[in-house]
Structure 1
Amino acid sequence: MILKEFVDREKDKNRLQSALKRADCQFIVVYGRRRIGKSALIKNVLRADRDLYFLSDQTSEQNQRQLFAGVIATYIEGFDKLQYPDWETLLRAMNNQLKGRLTICLDEFPYMVKSCPSLPSVLQKL
C-alpha cells in the first residue's frame, strides 16, 4: 500500500499512536469534514501486520457483517465461513478467538449504524 506523505499531520499521528500504545482498551473517534484525510491518517498509523481496517459501505447489515467477518478472517482462519445472525454474536465470537491485542478500525461507521441502529449500544455493552 502506497501512502501519501503527510504535511502538518505529525501531531495528529502522534496522538493516535500514543492512544493505541496505552495498556488499557481504547475507543477512539476520528471525525471531521469530508475529504480532509481522516482515513489516510488512520491507515498510516495502523500496523498492517497486527491491525484490522474495515471500510463500511451502504449495503445491508447482513452484508456488512459478512464483509467484516472476511477482514477478521485474515487473523482468525475460517472466521468468515460462518453466518453471524447479529453484531453481538460476531463480536463475541471474534473476541473469544483472538489471541492477543488488536486494533480494529471501523471506517465510515455511520454507514454501519444506518443499517443497524442498535450497533452503538451493542459496542457499548461489550
Structure 2
Amino acid sequence: MLLDLSIWERWLPFVALIVAIFVVKIAYVQVHVGREEARRAAANNIYQQYLTLCFENSKFAKGLVQPSGTNNLDYSKYCWFVSMMLFSFEQIIEINVSEEKWHRAIKLQLLRHKDFLNKSSTVREEQWDDRLIGIINEL
C-alpha cells in the first residue's frame, strides 16, 4: 500500500508543506538565537571596554570628590571618565533592555559616582536614555 504512487501523489503536497513549515521554524529560531548572541557579545564588549577604562584610570573608577579650586585637571578628566561610563551604560541598556543582571551591574558601578551624578548637569537635564536616568534616580 505504501508503494502505491497514487497515494504519495495525493499526500506529497501536504508532506512538503509540513516539512517547509518545520524548516521555516528552525530558521526563525536560529536567527533569533543568533541575534540574541550578537547582542550579548556587543554588551560584553562594551562593558569590557569600560573595565579597561577603569583599569587605566583606577583613581577615577572608585569615584572622585570635587576638590576645592576651579581648575583641577584630575577632576576635569574624571568628568570625562563619568561621561564615557554613562555612554557605555546607555549603549548596554539599549542593547539589553530587559536583562536585570545588567541593571544591577550598572547600578553598582553608578553608586561609586553618586556624588558626581547628583551634581551632573547632563543627568539633571536628562540627556541620557530614560532607562539609564531611571537607574540613576534609584540611587
| TM superposition score normalised by structure 2 | 0.27
Task: Name the structure with the higher helix share.
Answer: 2
- Structure whose residues are more often strand by fraction: 1
TM-score by length of 1: 0.29
Larger radius of gyration: 2
